[in-house]
């Protein structure tokens, strides 16, 4: 209950309470404190009339007497509540975080699923890359070997290619030519010029000059056959009766000297073919620096190249010299030759199968080479 009182009565009451004589104008907080027998620091305001508060708390006083103070109190209370909530949130956010066993198992399962899917996505491309690299390496081994053989076969003496297949070995042999040209078949009308003759020792003119490198050596057909000097070969028609075969020494001679547009040779007993040479030869001659052999042995898995040995009527398999390793891991190989002196070209077929031992995968390549057979 609120009772309106007079300033004088309140002054007397305060003087009685404090025992002092103070200002007659009291603030509401002071008057409320006197009424409740305790001081409260409230809003100070002077007035002609004051209010006496009986059995009312501070909030009710503010709500009924000072509405503006009540609004400030609400703001203050809201601020306090907000700070309290902030402290609670801060406490919760700064506390130690953890996880339950169910959460741990769930994470492990999800990680396992993702790892399995990732492994499936990565494993296939990696395996494909490894397989492709292995096959490419096998192809390179076989391809490099066959290209080397093909390149040298194109310089083979016409009708000199021969192939032998025995057991696990397949051998290819030919006479390698370093250069060639055309010889003078007869003298000029004025009697000049030095033509090729049927004598065992002679010098003849080379038409249009000499191209390439020629290594002359001692006289005698034996020196040519053994490799001591380059060989002059004319009109090589092939193997068998009625043909002129360089392997048998029918049409080869040792080159003894090289001049400015001339060649000197010595073959001992002379040429086996008749003179004049048939016009089908087109006056060609070839310079042979020796035989070359390729021997593939599937039992050892090696393909070797041989050179630097002498010319022999029978094909040696392998030749009696050290060979250079051209390829290994050979599983199988096959060489064949189809040709005759009656056709202009012969066909050499080369097939090599290379295997990768760890994986057991193999690659087979086949090459076919046309060789010139015009003598």
Give residue 221's pLDDT.
Answer: 87
- Please state, as a whole number, how many other Cβ atoms lie within 10 Å of the Cβ of residue 166: 8
Range of the domain at 243: 148-372
The total number of structural domains in the chain stands at 2
What is the spatial distance between Cα 83 and Cα 334, in angstroms, rounded to a whole number? 94
Give residue 47's pLDDT.
Answer: 42
Q: Where are the alpha helices (DSSP H) in 95-175?
A: 101-153
Q: Which residue, 74, 89, 104, sits at the end of a domain?
A: 89
C-alpha distance across the termini of the chain, in Å: 145
74 and 173 housed in the same domain: no
Residue 292 lies in a domain: yes
Residue 118 lies in a domain: no
Give residue 275's pLDDT.
Answer: 67
Give residue 91's pLDDT.
Answer: 58
153 and 251 housed in the same domain: yes
Q: Count CA atoms closer than 13 A to 226's CA, side-chain side.
A: 8
Q: Which residue, 68, 89, 110, sits at the end of a domain?
A: 89
Residue 128 lies in a domain: no
Give residue 1's pLDDT.
Answer: 41
35 and 157 housed in the same domain: no
68 and 164 housed in the same domain: no
258 and 335 housed in the same domain: yes
pLDDT tens string for the chain (375 positions)? 444 444 555 555 555 555 544 444 445 445 445 444 444 444 444 444 444 444 444 445 444 544 544 454 454 555 666 666 666 666 555 555 667 888 889 989 999 888 888 877 888 888 888 888 888 999 999 999 999 999 999 999 999 999 999 889 999 999 999 999 999 988 888 888 899 888 888 899 999 888 888 999 998 888 889 989 999 998 888 887 778 899 988 889 999 999 888 999 998 766 776 666 665 567 889 999 999 999 999 999 999 999 999 999 999 999 999 999 999 999 999 999 998 777 788 999 999 999 998 888 999 999 999 998 888
What is the spatial distance between Cα 296 and Cα 176, in angstroms, rounded to a whole number? 19
Residue 213 lies in a domain: yes
52 and 159 housed in the same domain: no
Give residue 5's pLDDT.
Answer: 45
Residue 109 lies in a domain: no
41 and 184 housed in the same domain: no
Three-state DSSP class for residue 329 = coil
186 and 285 housed in the same domain: yes
Give residue 204's pLDDT.
Answer: 92
What is the spatial distance between Cα 70 and Cα 60, in angstroms, rounded to a whole number? 9
Three-state DSSP class for residue 14 = helix
Q: Where is 165: in which H helix or E strand? A: strand 162-166
67 and 190 housed in the same domain: no
Give residue 339's pLDDT.
Answer: 81
Q: pTM to 2 decimals?
A: 0.67
What is the spatial distance between Cα 288 and Cα 180, in angstroms, rounded to a whole number? 9
168 and 281 housed in the same domain: yes
Residue 117 lies in a domain: no
Residue 225 lies in a domain: yes
Three-state DSSP class for residue 110 = helix
Give residue 300's pLDDT.
Answer: 93
216 and 359 housed in the same domain: yes
Three-state DSSP class for residue 345 = strand
What is the spatial distance between Cα 37 and Cα 132, in angstroms, rounded to a whole number? 101
Compute the 3-state secondary structure of the chain and give helix, strand, coil in percent, each to the nearest 5.
Answer: 30, 30, 40
Residue 345 lies in a domain: yes
Backbone phi, then psi, for 28, in 5-degree steps?
A: -60, -40
56 and 179 housed in the same domain: no
- Please state, as a whole number, how many other Cβ atoms lie within 10 Å of the Cβ of residue 18: 10
Q: Which residue, 89, 108, 125, sits at the end of a domain?
A: 89
């Amino acid at each position: 209950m609120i009772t309106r009182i007079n300033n004088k009565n309140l002054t007397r009451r305060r003087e009685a309470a404090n025992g002092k004589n103070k200002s007659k104008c009291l603030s509401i907080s002071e008057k409320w404190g006197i009424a409740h027998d305790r001081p409260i620091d409230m809003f100070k305001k002077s007035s002609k009339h004051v209010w006496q508060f009986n059995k009312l708390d501070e909030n009710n006083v503010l709500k009924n007497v000072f509405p503006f103070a009540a609004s400030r109190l609400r703001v203050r209370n809201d601020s306090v509540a907000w700070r309290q909530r902030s402290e609670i949130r801060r406490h919760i956010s700064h506390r130690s975080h953890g996880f339950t066993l169910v959460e741990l198992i769930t994470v492990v399962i999800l990680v396992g699923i993702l790892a399995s899917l990732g492994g499936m996505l990565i494993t296939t491309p990696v395996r494909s890359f490894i397989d492709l690299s292995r096959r490419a390496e096998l192809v390179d081994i076989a391809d490099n070997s066959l290209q080397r053989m093909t390149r040298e076969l194109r310089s083979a003496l016409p009708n000199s290619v021969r192939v032998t297949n025995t057991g696990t070995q397949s051998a290819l042999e030919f006479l390698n030519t370093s250069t060639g040209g055309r010889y003078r078949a007869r003298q000029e009308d004025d009697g000049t010029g030095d033509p090729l003759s049927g004598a065992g020792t002679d010098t003849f003119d080379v038409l249009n000059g000499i191209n390439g490198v020629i290594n002359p050596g001692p006289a005698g057909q034996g020196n040519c056959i053994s490799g001591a000097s380059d060989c002059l070969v004319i009109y090589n028609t092939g193997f068998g009766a009625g043909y002129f075969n360089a392997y048998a020494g029918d049409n080869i001679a040792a080159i003894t000297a090289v001049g400015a547009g001339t060649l000197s040779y010595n073959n001992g007993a002379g040429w086996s073919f008749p003179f004049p040479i048939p016009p089908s030869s087109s006056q060609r001659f070839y310079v042979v620096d020796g035989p070359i052999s390729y021997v593939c042995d599937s039992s050892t898995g090696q393909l070797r190249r041989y050179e630097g040995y002498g010319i022999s009527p029978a094909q040696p398999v392998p030749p009696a010299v050290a060979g250079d390793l051209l390829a290994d891991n050979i599983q199988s190989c096959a060489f064949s030759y189809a040709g005759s002196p009656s056709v202009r070209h012969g066909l050499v077929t080369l097939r090599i199968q290379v295997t990768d031992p760890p994986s057991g995968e193999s690659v087979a390549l086949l090459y076919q080479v046309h060789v010139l057979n015009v003598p």
